[in-house]
Structure 1
């Protein structure tokens, strides 16, 4: 158990990443009386934050808890890491492997902190989920106790203490419970689970379908179309997930339909915004340059295409988004092709599970675990 759960002491937490989500979670934990360090590569951000308790690059209007100290731009020292009870990773998926590789020597031979991951994506080059990246870099034993938090949780609402609920999952029920107890508050409710593969897939895939919802709005379509895309997107996500080896029930969770609904129905969603601007006729390169933040659905769409092809499942919406982003297809033309498809069975789960089986074997677990 974490020290604050054993004897009343609060935890020491190091947050990797000072963007919107890393900052809001640091603030949440700091406001809950934990001691929080937040790492950033930006020297200006570190200095400004420590002087003013404001983040000049994210959630600029928010005054952060005084129990948070920004560190960087140098990578956190081994001495600092070894004093931590919790390491929280709020960096883009593409940066997780590099960060964990740098951390590995510090994690060897001593107390391993509770590792919590909140990123949502699939590594583009390897098509790996974060669980597999952890196994590759830090070893199976650390991967088996790593914890993942996902769900409908906009940062700007978390810092306002608006009621929010998330899924907290791990292959280790004990570690999922520890992470849940760390975060749980009346305004930030945590629900535990044991399907990190499904939660990771749901968190990554929903960003792709949010781009589709944004495109529909940009083309002038309204509520019926958005409801159609959310529902059919959920069906595709579930079909891809079950073919991968995840539980279909995971896609009915906060991390599944909850996050999908939020991301597809909010104009403040980065991925929705990318889609909307595509629907309005803007070019992807210009959108990315002027967006001001990372929209992980763009890179996830590329990795997802490879995953879908490997699984051999039908994912018409996801394939359409890939064609628009990476094949130069006209948005309106590709949308009309999707609308012209013949009628089909509404709900159809795929069998398979080989990717999950391979990952469980890498962790030294049987596929049923």
Structure 2
């Protein structure tokens, strides 16, 4: 029940919070509709956000008791789990309802400030950013970032100004640098993912074949655990399903035929090789139900949002990504509202396009003045 404190008897004075529901994900720098129902209350209500440690922050005080309020979550909101959202009768604090176990996460991205690599909380809708942290002495990199939601960390591969290869670990909630491990043998792997065992896995060319390797976060060593079939050419496009323990790798074989290689993401065993009509995919994401790979593909005149069935390779065109003309394949799936975001340009302006996962419809296209790299959702 989203309202654990309110009396559910319609004939009894009380407050019931209808939305957001308990255990919901909310993103900093977004707007959330707070909705509620009251019985026997005619006065205004107070809305408060209560952190896990009991700290109370007012969302709004004495707002009209009309059953809804659009809450603009600040860009600098403290990212954390365990929040409670309370709606309380302004005249009687004993009449209160709540939604519990909320997470305030964020869309984050990376941008060079001129002197350091910043981690930013990003709002395409508001064209706003807020500094979360900096990636130590990172100077050169290829935008390889992983979110470890088990250990609450961000991992970044890159180099310092002396071109020393490093593996940076940051606290994903605060942006604080936890460690920077110097890599004796710089990693040439790409397409990094985190499997269900918590291991970092990526793909590396051995000289004769594409290996699936496991990265040790403590020592920086890589160990081959499998071979990605006859993969010869690719653009580092992978997706992982940690429910089914599947790693999907897209590329071309030695005959230049497009293929989808399906690997066991824990053991490294090759499970299947599925022919693809089109392997020129960009911005691959796994659909929430794990049945499809979602990506962008140019059809000759416009960028399409396309889905590929992970068992058959069959393609389904879902929609057109607005007026997108140029891009670097940067996408994220936003689990807070079941959308997919595409970063690109229409040739004049940098934009972020918001696409509905269910229908493929374009919901929004926001012009942004400060583009970022490696967008990720932290929660």
TM-score under structure 1 length normalisation: 0.26
More strand by share: 2
Higher relative contact order (CA 8 A, sep 6+): 1
TM-score under structure 2 length normalisation: 0.25
More helix by share: 1
Flag the structure with larger Rg: 2
